[in-house]
């Protein structure tokens, strides 16, 4: 076991670079994780998401509208990301996050249709449910498991169409993190409620 005083400075630096968390938070997480950096990252992630959840009800009246145009000139995105103060809205880190969201929306294999899964219209969800159910029955699945199969497919479909549920298209740069995880991280670092309000994706000919 490594007491907090024995936490290596190099480990603290490495953890800060990977998470963006404060020095004292990194030290505490490493001490709790007994020096295991991967476990410390998970501890910080959980604490960061918990803190972000507490901030979620706070008003977001500032922010930026960011655009991204793909190199081909055939795909363009506008995204509005909100925060609480103009100070954070003007920061390079906040602007970069908004740009990365726009880049993801432009290049996602399954272009998102809504920001969050709870924004999916009930009629759209029901239409998908009927399709999945009909397919399961055509494949001869037993009646007693059709419901479970459909629920699983609906959950997978929701992740495909909801922006926050998707892994950033640049998975190598963001270690497979979802847009929601990235949003929670910047909310934790800035201490503000950060919210992706809306987006629009334009494709030539569509």
Which structural domain, as residue segments, surrounds residue 126?
121-161
Q: What is the pTM assigned to this prediction?
A: 0.67
Sequence-ordered list of residues with C-beta below 8 angstroms from that of 26, at least 6 positions apart, any chain? 12, 15, 16, 19, 40, 44
CA dihedral (143, 145, 149, 150) positive or negative: positive
Task: Summarize pLDDT for 85-103 with one digit per residue, the tens.
Answer: 999 999 999 999 999 999 9
For the domain that residue 174 is a member of, what is the CATH number?
A: 3.30.479.20
- The Cα–Cα gap between 132 and 154 comes to 8
Task: Summarize pLDDT for 123-166 with one digit per residue, the tens.
Answer: 888 888 888 888 888 877 887 787 788 888 888 888 888 999 99
Total structural domains within the chain: 3
Domain shared by 66 and 110, yes or no: yes
């Amino acid at each position: 076991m490594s007491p907090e005083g024995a936490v290596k400075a190099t480990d603290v630096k490495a953890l800060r670079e990977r998470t963006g968390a404060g020095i004292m938070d990194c030290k505490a997480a490493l001490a709790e994780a007994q020096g295991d950096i991967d476990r410390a990252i998970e501890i910080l992630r959980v604490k960061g998401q918990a803190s972000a959840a507490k901030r979620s009800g706070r008003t977001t009246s500032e922010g930026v509208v960011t655009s991204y145009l793909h190199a081909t000139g055939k795909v363009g995105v506008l995204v509005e990301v909100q925060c609480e103060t103009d100070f954070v809205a003007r920061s390079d880190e906040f602007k970069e996050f908004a740009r990365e969201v726009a880049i993801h929306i432009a290049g996602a294999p399954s272009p998102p249709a809504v920001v969050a899964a709870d924004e999916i219209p009930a009629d759209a969800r029901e239409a998908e449910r009927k399709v999945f159910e009909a397919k399961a029955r055509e494949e001869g699945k037993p009646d007693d498991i059709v419901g479970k199969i459909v629920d699983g497919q609906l959950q997978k479909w929701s992740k495909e169409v909801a922006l926050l549920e998707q892994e950033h298209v640049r998975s190598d740069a963001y270690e497979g993190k979802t847009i929601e995880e990235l949003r929670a991280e910047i909310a934790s670092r800035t201490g503000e409620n950060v919210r992706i309000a809306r987006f629009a994706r334009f494709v030539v000919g569509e």
